[in-house]
């Protein structure tokens, strides 16, 4: 197999000689677009020739971006991704990718095509607002993975997503973290004491557990005598349908110690839940969940969040999200000098370094006090 570079207009191409067509007797040459730089075309020739020698070369076919993503790539990922992530990829491809670049042959996809896609997603259309930079960057990461797999398997000669220019991560706006202080949190929990879901919100505030982990918690994973619970599963919503899924990561599968008050709240809740079960009789569906609907079925995560929002609105306290209870748990512990590693383990973070990055807003005050403490040790208190 031989190859060379050629230029047409402002673009360079890698041209690969594929021998003589036995049907026509004519020489066959395949042209691959390499972009505006000759050096990229030369590297592409070298790579294609090497693949031919290694037996990995595959002539381009007529597969489009749409057919590759939906018929080849996405089905292979079903067993590798969480159901919610798979559904997110599927909806993203259907809503945003296929309408814009789905008809383009995969081999002819260029970085400029992706840049144009990202620009259109940012602008919006038909009176609708554009997507946030963070969302567009997530779409780019998905396409990068898909095209990287295509490059690795020889379906394309290069991953054009690696050359595209998506929005920078730094420009992706983050939801502001709002947390209550200890007095505000206590006021809220006392004010919803009569609500059926009070024990669930109480547990969320006192453990920092994620929403899905709270709703997926089973009684068999709770040891009230030892004041300890283990997290193994979560309730998630996939296209609004409920599923019981494994937790997010290996570190999410963890054990959390409980304080005596939280254990007492769960004991009282267990008694009330058993009374509900006896009242319903055979109509009750026992899923073994700590927090469920009166008939025993799982609570939808969206309902759990919306109920919390309504309770917060009635309380008169500053508005926060349900997930901010998790942030508040971590912030209060860090401000109280609980070691970062312990906080990280309770939250199920991958590393203490990640915890420090997320809660760096808490650290400046702690560092100032540390500076004063060191100065007092060295020179004595002022």
pLDDT tens per residue, range 124-149: 877 778 898 989 999 999 999 999 99
Three-state SS string across the chain, please? CEEEEEEECCEEEEEEEEEECCCCCCEEEEEEEEECCHHHHHHHHHHHHHHHHHCCCCCCCCCEHHHHHHHHHHHHHCCCCCHHHHHHHHHHHHHHHHHHHCCCEHHHCCHHHHHHHHHHHHHCCCCCCCCCHHHHHHHHHHHHHHHHHHHHCCCCCCCHHHHCCCCCHHHCCCCCCCCCCHHHHHHHHHHCCCCCCHHHHHHHHHHCCCHHHHHHCEHHHEECCCCEEECCEEEEEECCEEEEEECCCCCCCCEEECCHHHHHHHHHHHHHHHHHHHHHHHHCCCCCECCCCCCCCCCCHHHHHHHHHHHHHHHCCCCCCCHHHHHHHHHHHHHCCCCHHHHHHHHCCCCHHHHHHHCCCCHHHHHHHHHHHHHHHHHCCC
pLDDT greater than 60 at residue 174? no
pLDDT of residue 175: 61
Q: What is the mean pLDDT of residues 209-216?
A: 96
Query: Measured between alpha carbons, how far is 236 from 243 in angstroms, rounded to an integer?
Result: 5
What is the token pair recorded at 113?
A: 């095509």
Of 201, 288, 210, the residue nearest 251 (C-alpha): 210
- The distance from CA 344 to its chain's CA centroid, rounded to whole angstroms, is 18
Crossing angle for the helix pair 111-123 and 133-152, to the nearest 10 degrees:
160
* CATH class of segment(s) 65-171: mainly alpha
Mean pLDDT, the chain, integer: 88
Q: What is the mean pLDDT of residues 109-124?
A: 93
Q: What is the mean pLDDT of residues 302-313?
A: 97
pLDDT greater than 70 at residue 259? yes
pLDDT of residue 363: 66
pLDDT of residue 54: 66
**C-alpha separations of 291 from 219, 226, 313 in Å:** 9, 20, 23
Least confident of 43-57, 109-123, 175-189, 236-250: 43-57
pLDDT greater than 70 at residue 1? no
What confidence category does residue 173 fall into, taking pLDDT thresholds of 50, 70 and 90?
A: very low
Of 253, 264, 244, 259, the residue nearest 199 (C-alpha): 264
> Does CATH number 3.40.1280.10 belong to domain 182-367?
no
- The distance from CA 177 to its chain's CA centroid, rounded to whole angstroms, is 18
Please state whether the predicted TM-score (pTM) of the whole model is above 0.75.
Answer: no
Taking only the tens place, the pLDDT of each residue in 340-374 is: 999 999 999 989 998 988 888 776 666 677 778 78
Crossing angle for the helix pair 198-207 and 182-191, to the nearest 10 degrees:
160
Question: 212 and 233 in contact (C-beta within 8 Å)?
Answer: no
Domain range list for the chain: 2-54, 65-171, 182-367
pLDDT greater than 90 at residue 332? yes
More confident residue, 228 or 25: 228
pLDDT of residue 171: 45
Crossing angle for the helix pair 133-152 and 83-92, to the nearest 10 degrees:
100
pLDDT of residue 250: 72
Q: What is the mean pLDDT of residues 86-107?
A: 93
Tell me the sheet residues that pair with 14: 5, 32
Q: What is the mean pLDDT of residues 42-63?
A: 73
Q: What is the mean pLDDT of residues 283-303?
A: 93
* 58 CB-near residues (< 8 Å, 6+ apart): 154, 155
Q: What is the mean pLDDT of residues 32-48?
A: 84
What is the token pair recorded at 27?
A: 């020489």
């Amino acid at each position: 197999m031989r190859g060379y570079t050629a230029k047409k207009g402002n673009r360079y191409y890698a041209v690969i000689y594929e021998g003589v067509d036995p049907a026509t007797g004519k020489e066959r040459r395949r042209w691959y677009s390499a972009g505006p730089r000759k050096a990229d075309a030369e590297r592409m020739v070298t790579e294609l020739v090497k693949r031919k020698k290694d037996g990995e070369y595959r002539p381009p076919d007529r597969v489009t971006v749409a057919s590759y993503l939906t018929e080849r790539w996405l089905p292979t990922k079903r067993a590798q991704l969480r159901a919610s992530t798979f559904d997110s990829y599927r909806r993203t491809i259907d809503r945003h990718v296929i309408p814009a670049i789905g008809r383009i042959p995969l081999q002819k996809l260029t970085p400029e095509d992706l840049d144009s896609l990202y620009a259109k997603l940012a602008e919006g259309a038909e009176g609708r607002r554009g997507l946030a930079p963070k969302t567009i960057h997530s779409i780019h990461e998905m396409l990068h993975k898909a095209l990287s797999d295509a490059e690795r398997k020889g379906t394309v000669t290069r991953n054009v997503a690696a050359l595209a220019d998506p929005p920078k991560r730094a420009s992706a706006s983050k939801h502001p973290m709002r947390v209550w202080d200890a007095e505000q949190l206590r006021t809220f929990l006392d004010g919803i004491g009569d609500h059926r879901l009070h024990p669930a919100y109480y547990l969320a505030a006192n453990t920092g557990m994620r929403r899905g982990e709270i709703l997926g918690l089973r009684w068999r994973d709770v040891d009230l005598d030892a004041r300890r619970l283990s997290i193994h599963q979560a309730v998630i919503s996939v296209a609004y349908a409920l599923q019981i899924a494994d937790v997010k990561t290996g570190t999410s599968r963890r054990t959390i110690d409980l304080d005596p008050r939280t254990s007492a709240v769960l004991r009282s809740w267990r008694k009330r839940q058993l009374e509900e079960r006896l009242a319903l009789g055979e109509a009750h569906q026992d899923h073994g969940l700590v927090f469920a609907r009166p008939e025993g079925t799982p609570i939808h995560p969206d309902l759990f969040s919306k109920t919390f929002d309504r309770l917060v609105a009635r309380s008169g306290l500053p508005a926060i999200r349900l997930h901010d209870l998790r942030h508040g748990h971590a912030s209060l512990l860090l401000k109280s000098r609980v070691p970062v590693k312990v906080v990280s383990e309770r939250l199920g973070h991958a590393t203490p370094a990640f915890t420090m990055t997320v809660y760096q807003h808490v650290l400046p005050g702690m560092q100032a006090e540390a500076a004063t403490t060191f100065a007092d040790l060295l020179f004595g208190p002022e």
